[in-house]
Amino acid sequence: MSTGPQTTIFKGALPTRRDVLVGAGTVLLGGVVPAQAHHSFAVFDRSVQVTLVGTVREFQWTNPHIFIQLMVRNDKGVEEEWSIEGASPNMLFRRGWTPQSFRPGDKVTLTVNPLRDGARGGNFVHALFPDGKTLGDMAATVPG
């Protein structure tokens, strides 16, 4: 007398301990390689904030981080290009940003954490547009 259809969970031999360890190792190493490829934000001096007033030359909405190329006049009136790095497009999109948040020619005041080596670059903190619109973490621009 049959009790109904039989279900077979495994077809063939069960995985060996070696198979399980190799599989787990592969998963763990797969997470380490991308983490090593992603750079640290230690290159930015997060204890210092610099205010840049300039004109957007280019807005790069690309993974893994956005970049704003900003033309800024130095103390001698010479225009210099600054490269400002921000968060990922995915994170920024969830905060209301779009690929059109900055457009070439936009006048903007940016607050950034500068590069530790003194090069013209930084980590995005906050943006203020002439019409009063803001992007970023306004609270982070207020000294604690």
Encode pLDDT of 13-69 as tens digits: 666 777 665 555 554 444 444 444 455 778 999 999 999 999 999 999 999 999 999
The per-residue DSSP string of 20-74 comes to HHHHHHHHHHHHHHHHHHSPPGGGB-TT--EEEEEEEEEEE--SS--EEEEEEE-
Give 73-128 pLDDT, tens digit per residue.
999 999 999 999 999 999 999 999 999 999 999 999 999 999 999 999 999 999 99
CATH of residue 89: 2.40.50.1010
Number of structural domains in the chain: 1
Q: Is residue 21 in some structural domain?
A: no
The domain of 60 spans 41-141
**Residue 117, in any domain of the structure:** yes
Residue 125 placed within a domain: yes
Residue 13 placed within a domain: no
Rounded to two decimals, the pTM is 0.69
